[in-house]
Structure 1
């Protein structure tokens, strides 16, 4: 039982140290750079809407 508690505490310590980035399992480590960029995509879409409206003179 103490081993399981130790593993849980170690995981919690990792997540508390870095609140913005989680750690992917090793099987998905190849896609880690893509996952880091994915939260920015909705912001870029929102900005693209303003650029599009500026291009059509905010009709």
Structure 2
């Protein structure tokens, strides 16, 4: 669950700058992950790279 929340934070930084409700955040997360498996893999690689370099 915490990994999903981490993805959520990354996607929110990319998709929006203004504060949003929890429901809207969930919608953005789901839409972003459903766009394509390729974009999901890109996000996954980005997060893994970030964690390695941290």
**Global fold match (TM > 0.5):** no
The alignment's TM-score, normalised by the length of structure 2, stands at 0.36
The alignment's TM-score, normalised by the length of structure 1, stands at 0.34
Q: Which has the bigger relative contact order, CA under 8 A and spacing at least 6?
A: 2
